[in-house]
Amino acid sequence: MDFFLAGLSQVLNVSTIAWMAAGSILGILLGALPGLTATMGIALVMPISFQLPTATGIGLLLAVYCGAVSGASIPAILLGIPGNPNAIATVIDGKKMTEKGFAGQALGGAVIASLIGGTGSLICLIFFSPLIAKATLAFGPAEKTTLALVGLVIIASVSGKSLLKGLFMGAFGMILSFLGADPFSGALRIPFAQYLSQTPFTKGFDLTSSLIGLFGISQVLYEIKNIDKPKDVVKQVEIKNLFPSFKKIRSMWKIILSSLGIGTVVGAIPGTGASIAVFMSLDSAKNIINSSNGKLEELGTGCLEGIFAPEVANNAVTGGALIPALALGIPGDSATAVLIGALMIKGIAPGYQLFQQNMSLVYAIFITMFIANIFMALFQIAGVRVYPKILKVPGGILFPIVLALSFIGSYAIAGQATSVGIYNMGIAIFMGLIGYICKKDGYPISPIVLGLILGQMFEENFRRAVKLAAGNYFTFFTKPICLLFILLAILSIVYPIIKKKREK
Amino acid sequence: MFKTRKITPFAFCIFSLVYIFYVVQLGDSRMLGDSIGGDPGGMIIPLVLGIFMFISSFYIWLTDKKVKDENAENKLNTVEKHLLVLTIVLSLLYVATARILGFILSTSLLIYILTFANLTLGLQKSNLKAFFSGALISEIVLISVYTLGRKLTRFLLINGRKELIPAWMGSNVAALLLTLILVSVLFFLLNIIINKIFKNKNLFKQVKVAGAISVLTTEFLYLMFKQFFLVELITGLINW
């Protein structure tokens, strides 16, 4: 109880609430604008979060995250274009409801579904993350090495169309994380060390600047292909009767529960993300509707069932993805990867230590997550008539602003050190170009982030484990937890290959 | 052979090879105090990863062939290519000249040029006159607004500390808000004047939007990061 109250006191102050409110509105806008993503939003506000107290900063990031996931439903319903891939399944029934004159009900329903999904998965997060974190007590260097390996391999295997490209990108991220000083000997591991030993390059690749480049700058470059395309026009839609009846919502309880479960579980599996969860939830909803004897409406006809299933699921992913992130330090998706990066830069290591030594912060994170969901619902309802107007803002105006924000964000991380700031901007543009080339050629970028985050953890623990085993490399095969993780890693490589062969 | 295969995996292949040579050339580094041995050293993981990257990129290069009309939606037309190159070049210039020009000038120019180019679909010769006059006006407006904002902020903070004005007015947040209000009012007035002067000019809308976006965004970012978060932004040419 003391920890809860301590966590509450970190959150319940004017500054945190104000920043979260701003973050929530910004998140909804970012989610609503096609081409801008939740991860990009989090990466862009990360430098701001560093200037704030930890709980306030995390609250700001969570507010952007929850807002962006939910905000993507606005263009999906009004235009038939998802704001980001999370709302890809909302398009089907959302657009039809708008055409039938029920845009208000669709938007309101999406908000309620998002709130249910977000808060429902938060309960799972509160319940499961301490339990999983406790299990990590048994983890030594060998277990941590294989845990990092499994996290990397899973995200690499599911985040793109090609397993090999994913693994390559993971390895690429890892080698970037090795730049700087050797963690054990302190020897410099940078090219042209004799010339660059007095430069910020010795500190390696700044994580925040890399994330800003990968998700902010690369997205700006990637979206240039749409600048001269005519923008979809939001027709004048009458938005009335926002809230669906309680009776209707109650009749969909099975769909809500199944989507909540799917979203949370899928979110907790590293690398999967909301775009998978929404289709699984639609599939499950289809089965529930088929067995409802006509009490529920058929999907694809412009019904609330087709809004609730994906919207509950994609917001449930937010809480689900935080379970492995907080408990193990393994992010569930690229957005939580950025959140972990934010925690790590603040000097907070996710895992059992966090739950044991900083329980008040854990509670603060839970509370901010709850507030973020409430704000998301409040601001989305309040601005339901305004957001469609914002969809008219052309990318040609937005992208230069995003670019400038990306540069100043990566510069600001350095605080007072000008040369470090300029170096960070250089990293941001380098990673932006890498991200652009990868996106263009179908290489997933999430594994780079994982590689950057987990690379050092992997190397340090690998060397410790082998050292403790007196140079025996087979030590990883002598421990049951390690074996389990290795098996999981092998499965996550083999399964997509078998699946692909079967499909052929 | 190169015509049918993609360039990215080939580039990654070369990169991996260079990385392997770099790792080998760097040599091994052992844990401090590792007298009894057992430390695998700092070379093994980078080397294994380098070899894995080389093999995988080589395999991708061999198997991932160019397909006609593949990723047609990703192909850029001339205008888009022009805008892409412009964005990349300006970004590089932004980083390279930030120290000389300073935050205010470099940021506003970056935003102005890109917004204008995006709205007019590339910088064309016929637009250059409008482009340059717009750039000049927006820089003058920005520097005026910035200077007045700085004067107001200094006045509030210094007099707040000396207790010549109410304490709340001398706080960081109040100074920020009051400066924002002043900037908005000034901008609104300038907007009316500029509207009257250039009412019937060609390209007026694009120039106006680009100018307004560059002035407002730069000033907002400046106030947010410099005055609220106390980040030491580069002053450059505008050092007052």
> Alpha-carbon distance A392 to B129, whole Å?
28
CB under 8 Å to A401, separation ≥6 — which residues?
B111, B213, B217
* Residue in chain A lying closest to B115 (CA): A397
One DSSP character per residue, A161-187 reads S-HHHHHHHHHHHHHHHT-EE-TTT--
* Residue in chain A lying closest to B114 (CA): A400
Interface test with A, best of B53, B104, B106 (most A CBs within 10 A): B53
> Alpha-carbon distance A149 to A174, whole Å?
11
- CB–CB of B118 and A396 under 8 A? yes
**Angle, alpha carbons A121-A127-A131 (nearest 5°):** 130
Write out chain A residues lying below 8 Å of B111, CB-based.
Answer: 400-401, 403-404
Interface test with B, best of A49, A162, A169, A175 (most B CBs within 10 A): A175
- CB–CB of A172 and B53 under 8 A? yes
Nearest to B32 among A178, A185, A469 (CB): A185
Write out chain B residues lying below 8 Å of A161, CB-based.
Answer: none
Q: What is the DSSP letter of A189?
A: E
Task: Pull the structure tokens for residue B9.
Answer: 């995996």
In this structure, chain B runs to a length of 240
- CB–CB of A224 and B80 under 8 A? yes
Write out chain A residues lying below 8 Å of B212, CB-based.
Answer: none
**Angle, alpha carbons A68-A73-A75 (nearest 5°):** 105
- CB–CB of A471 and B38 under 8 A? yes
Distance from CA of B235 to the nearest CA of A (A): 10
- CB–CB of B231 and A228 under 8 A? no
Nearest to B115 among A396, A470, A473 (CB): A396
Distance from CA of A240 to the nearest CA of B (A): 33
Which 3 state secondary structure label does DSSP give B33?
Answer: coil
Write out chain A residues lying below 8 Å of B235, CB-based.
Answer: none
Write out chain B residues lying below 8 Å of A164, CB-based.
Answer: 56, 59-60
Phi-psi region of A142 (alpha: psi -120 to 50; beta: other; left: phi over 0): alpha
Nearest to A184 among B42, B98, B121 (CB): B42
- What integer pLDDT is reported at residue B1 of this predicted model? 59
Q: Of the candidates A220, A142, A213, A267, which has an alpha carbon nearest to the alpha carbon of residue A448?
A: A213
Q: Of the candidates A126, A125, A144, A128, which has an alpha carbon nearest to the alpha carbon of residue A136?
A: A144
Q: How many beta-carbon contacts under 8 Å exist across A and B?
A: 184
Q: What is the DSSP letter of A226?
A: G
* Residue in chain B lying closest to A188 (CA): B26
- CB–CB of A185 and B42 under 8 A? yes
Distance from CA of A196 to the nearest CA of B (A): 14
* Residue in chain B lying closest to A404 (CA): B107
Tell me the H-state helices in A352-445.
352-357, 359-382, 387-390, 395-412, 418-440
Residues A317, A121: contact at Cβ < 8 Å? yes
> Alpha-carbon distance A61 to A64, whole Å?
5
Alpha carbon B38 to its chain centroid, in Å, reads 47
Q: Of the candidates A452, A448, A409, A425, which has an alpha carbon nearest to the alpha carbon of residue A200?
A: A425
- CB–CB of B34 and A217 under 8 A? no
Which 3 state secondary structure label does DSSP give A338?
Answer: helix
* Residue in chain B lying closest to A190 (CA): B26
* Residue in chain A lying closest to B222 (CA): A408
Write out chain B residues lying below 8 Å of A408, CB-based.
Answer: 103, 107, 221, 225, 233
| Residuewise pLDDT in 10s, chain A (504 residues) | 777 788 788 888 898 999 999 999 988 888 887 777 788 888 888 888 888 888 898 899 999 988 888 888 888 888 777 777 777 788 888 888 888 888 888 888 999 999 999 999 998 888 888 888 777 777 888 988 888 888 888 777 766 678 888 889 999 999 999 888 888 877 888 888 778 777 888 888 888 888 889 888 998 999 888 877 766 655 666 777 778 888 888 888 999 999 999 888 888 877 666 777 888 888 888 888 888 877 888 888 888 888 999 999 988 988 888 888 888 887 777 778 888 878 877 777 787 777 877 888 888 888 999 999 999 999 988 888 787 777 777 888 888 998 998 898 888 877 777 888 899 999 999 999 999 999 888 888 888 888 888 888 889 889 889 988 888 888 899 988 899 989 988 888 888 788 778 877
Write out chain B residues lying below 8 Å of A413, CB-based.
Answer: none
Interface test with A, best of B65, B231, B234, B235 (most A CBs within 10 A): B231
Per-residue burial over B25-52, b = 16 or more CB atoms within 10 Å of its CB, e = otherwise: ebebbbbeeeeeeebbbbbbbbbebbbb
Nearest to A164 among B36, B59, B118 (CB): B59
Nearest to B40 among A48, A442, A463 (CB): A463
Task: Pull the structure tokens for residue B72.
Answer: 């047609």
From the first residue on, what is the mean pLDDT of each consecutive set of 10 residues in chain B (240 residues)?
76 93 84 71 90 93 73 74 93 92 92 91 81 87 86 83 79 80 80 72 77 88 81 82
Q: Of the candidates A223, A306, A309, A316, which has an alpha carbon nearest to the alpha carbon of residue A272?
A: A316
- Digit-coded pLDDT (tens) for B67-108: 665 556 667 788 889 999 999 999 999 999 988 999 999 999
Distance from CA of A39 to the nearest CA of B (A): 21
- CA dihedral angle for residue B199, residue B200, residue B202, residue B204, rounded to 10 degrees: 10
Nearest to B22 among A172, A191, A471 (CB): A191
- CB–CB of B46 and A178 under 8 A? yes
Q: How many CB atoms lie within 10 A of CB B200?
A: 5
One DSSP character per residue, A144-167 reads HHHHHHHHHHHHHHHSSS-HHHHH
Distance from CA of A314 to the nearest CA of B (A): 27
Write out chain A residues lying below 8 Å of B6, CB-based.
Answer: 441
- What integer pLDDT is reported at residue B72 of this predicted model? 61
Q: What is the DSSP letter of B65?
A: B
Residues A112, A334: contact at Cβ < 8 Å? no
Predicted complex ipTM: 0.88
Task: Pull the structure tokens for residue B34.
Answer: 């590792």
Nearest to B87 among A175, A220, A467 (CB): A220
Interface test with A, best of B29, B120, B138 (most A CBs within 10 A): B29
CA terminus-to-terminus distance, chain A: 56
